[in-house]
Structures are given as structure tokens and as C-alpha cells.
A and B are shown apart, each in its own frame.
Chain A
Amino acid sequence: MKRLFISLLLAGACAAPVAAEGIDPAKVEAVFKASFSKVPEGWASRLVQDETQAECSKYRDNPPAAAADAIVAREKKNIRYPADGKLMGDWEAAIKDADNGAGKRSTDDPTKAAGGNCYACHQLDKKNVAFGTVGPSLLGYGKDRKADEQTIKETYDKIFNSQSVLACSQMPRMGANGFLTPEQVRDFVAMLLSPDSPVNK
């Protein structure tokens, strides 16, 4: 019954499945893994889904309520903060980093920090028109909110681990996945909330 309900939900909410129902996820994983014969040292884990990725794939990013609650609960535990506890960093460093799409690809220098590449999906600064629209516009983010302790923490948590807020969010779990450091994340917090940041000009 539950399965039928999910099927109906999926058929209605997303692209109608053409064939994937009934395919064993283990088979899909095996085919995927077997399609990479050369895996650089330390990269094998990238081919293996964690529980959250597997759940979101299974439900095509529309998890039923119980699964969504379980994801959010798990990801809330998967947030780390900078050692000194400060969650507002340097917006000037962040606004440059927001424009950088390089990092952690097979052709990138592995010793360099990855860019946040926020502009790929979000509008940030009125002056930079080369912004994507996959995510919401963040123009004026800090004008719409009071930068109190709670807002700062919520903003940090959202960037560090988007799925601690919304299960199967399309936004990467930037910090939780080790893509950005906690220090980079707090710089982005400042970029969004500081009144001096171009986001709020």
C-alpha cells in the first residue's frame, strides 16, 4: 500500500518513471562502480553513496514524511563548527570564493581549497550578472533578516549541511561532505549577513 502510494506520488510529482521501478538499487550501484576502472587513491568513497544520498535517489528527492524526518535528524548531527566557535568570517574572501568553480575535480590541484561557486546557482551581488537560477536569489539576504545569534547559526547550518534543514535539498552539503572547510563556510555566512557585503548593497 505504502509502495503504491509512493509510486503514485512520484508519478504525479516528478518526471514519470519510464522503467526504473523494479530495478534493484544494488544492481545499479554495481554497474556504476564497475564503470570506473581507474580510481585515484583516496577517491573510492566518492563512488559509494551514503545513506542520505541513497534515500534521496530512491525517492527522487521527494521523500515521504517519515524518511524526510529521518534524513534531517541524521544530518543535524553532521555539522561541525570552527574551533574558536566564531560563525561570522570574512565576507571579502567569500565573495571571491563565490565566483570560483574549481576544486576537487580530477584535473584540479588537490592541495588547493575548493571554491564555493555560489554564483553557479544563486544571484548574490547586483553587479555580477553571470548568476544561475537553480537556487533562489540571495540578493539582500542580510537586509531581510536581523543578524542575531540564531540567524547566524541557522545560516551556517544551512550552508554547512543543507539537508539538516531540508531533506533531499538540491544544494550540496558543502561542509558536511568535506567540500568546504568550516572556516570557508563562516566566510559565506558573513557574505550573506554583513551589511557591508555587496549582497546587501
Chain B
Amino acid sequence: MMPRRGKLGRLFAGVALAAAAAFAAPAWADNELDTYKKMLADPFANPGNLYVDEGEALWKKPAGPKNVSLEKCDLGLGAGVVKGAHAKMPRFFADAGRVMDTDTRIAWCREQLQGIPFADSAKTAFSARGKKSDMELLTTYVANQSAGMPLSPQLGHEKEKEALAIGEALFFRRGSLLDYSCATCHAASDTRIRLQPLAHLTENKSAGKVVGGWPVYRVSQESVRAMQNRMWDCHWQMRYPSIDFGSEATVALVMYLTKMGEGAPVTAPALAR
């Protein structure tokens, strides 16, 4: 598997570089990249799909100090129901007393059912290059079990409404050394950083396409990345310290982004740069 993934990454990077270096018209480069994305989105070619099967096996395998599987995990639709659960995240979980997204809930289940400390899941949630992380495998499997279903963030509970309000405020919150907010880059259409087109996350169609795809297979990183990684990455670029995995702020932001993309189908794992 590894050489194939490495080769794919190099191929894609090579095409991107060639497009950037050789052509002055960025629109052309975007189209070429789109063509490659389409080719790579073929279910037999997108390496993210390998994570789905591996993640399912991991979900069902006894593990951790308690040596049990995650099959009894309650992802919001009752213990053991995986199908359709991701499409209804984030949501309030009475047993945890807080709102969680898919990533956070899986880490919580690992602690409760398997005895794997939440902090350990947090620490290993983002894989190092060339080594798959259990969290990324599990999240990809769970998200893929909602493929084709519309994003439907849950907003019936007071805590869910509060998460949405906080997430929205955080999206427009400016701070740190560069005065950025999420909106600096993601509240307009047809803009880009360098040659990278930016998603317009306050617009339903654009937000839905992006949010519905996560976790994504990121070609530049030769790995699947889940939404908590995206939250960490943006805050890192904004010159903040490392934001905590599963923190209230990240889950609130995921709630807001999912609300913005509401109704779009889950396509995870999609393919991204």
C-alpha cells in the first residue's frame, strides 16, 4: 500500500507544480487539478476508501485495557448504530453532558468502552507521515456509513443551540498576531491563497461540498485527515497555540460549519489537496 500512496502523492504534487510553474492562467491550473481530482475520486483510486474497510475492522476488533470492541458505542442513534450517525453530528450527548462531533465522540467511546484515555486518542489523532492513526481510520469508517445522507446538525437541545451561537461568533472572531478570523479567508467566493482556491463557508453550497467531504484524503499529506485536524491546522496558521482536540471551541466551529452546509450529502472520504 505505501509505495502506491507515495507515488500518488508525488504524481499529484508534480502536476500541481507543473501547473503552477508553466502556466500563467490560474483558472487553467484549477481546471487541470479538477480533472485530476475527478480521476482520483474514482472509488477504486481514492486511497481514503482503504481507510473505510480498515476502520470497520478496527471498530469491530476488541482493543484497549478492557479488550472490547466499539460496537456498543452510542453515536447518537442508540448503542451500536453507526449507519446515519455522522450525518446528525454534532449533537448533545446526555451521558457526556456536552455537545460532540464525530471525532470527539469516538474518542469518548474509546475511553468509556475500551479504557483508552481520551488524552491518548487526542495525542494520536493526527497521524505521522507513513503511519496510519486509529482515530483517522475509525472516523473515516463512521463518516462513510452516512454516505449520501444530508448533513443534519442537531439543534433541538439548548446546548446545541449554544454551540451554534458560539461557533458562529468564533468564525468571525479576530485575534492573534495576524488579526485573522475564519472569515478572513472563508467568507467570500472566488478567492484564493496563492493558487489554492478558498472555500466560501458562509454559503450553503460551498460549505456543504466541503463539510460533507470530511474526513478527507489529503494528497499533500498522504493521509486521511479528520475535521478536528482541519480545526487544529487553521488555528496553527493563525498563530495560535495548539487548540485542544475535541475542545468546546472546535466542536462549536464544526457545529457552525455543518449548519452552513446543512442538507448537502456526506461524501466522506472525499479527496483534497
Contacts and interface: CB of A to CB of B under 8 A. Distances in A.
Given A107-B236, A120-B194, A35 B174 contact: no
A107 B179 CA distance: 19
B252 interface: yes
B231 to A, nearest CB: 10
A168 to B, nearest CB: 8
A173 interface: yes
Contacts of A36: 240-244, 247
A15 B193 contact: no
Contact of B179 (A17, A18, A48, A177): A177
Interface of B: 20, 23-24, 26, 161-162, 164-166, 168-170, 172-181, 183-185, 187-188, 190-196, 198, 202-203, 236-237, 239-244, 247-250, 252, 256, 259
Nearest to A48: B175
- Which of B161, B178, B247 counts the most chain A CB atoms within 10 A? B178
B22 to A, nearest CB: 9
Contact of A15 (B166, B187, B248, B249): B187
Contacts, number: 146
A3 interface: no
A185 B191 CA distance: 25
A46 B162 CA distance: 25
21 contacts: A15-B203, A19-B161, A19-B164, A20-B168, A23-B166, A32-B173, A34-B249, A36-B247, A39-B241, A46-B176, A46-B240, A53-B173, A60-B172, A60-B183, A106-B241, A119-B194, A129-B23, A130-B194, A132-B191, A134-B198, A172-B179
- Which of A23, A31, A53, A178 counts the most chain B CB atoms within 10 A? A31
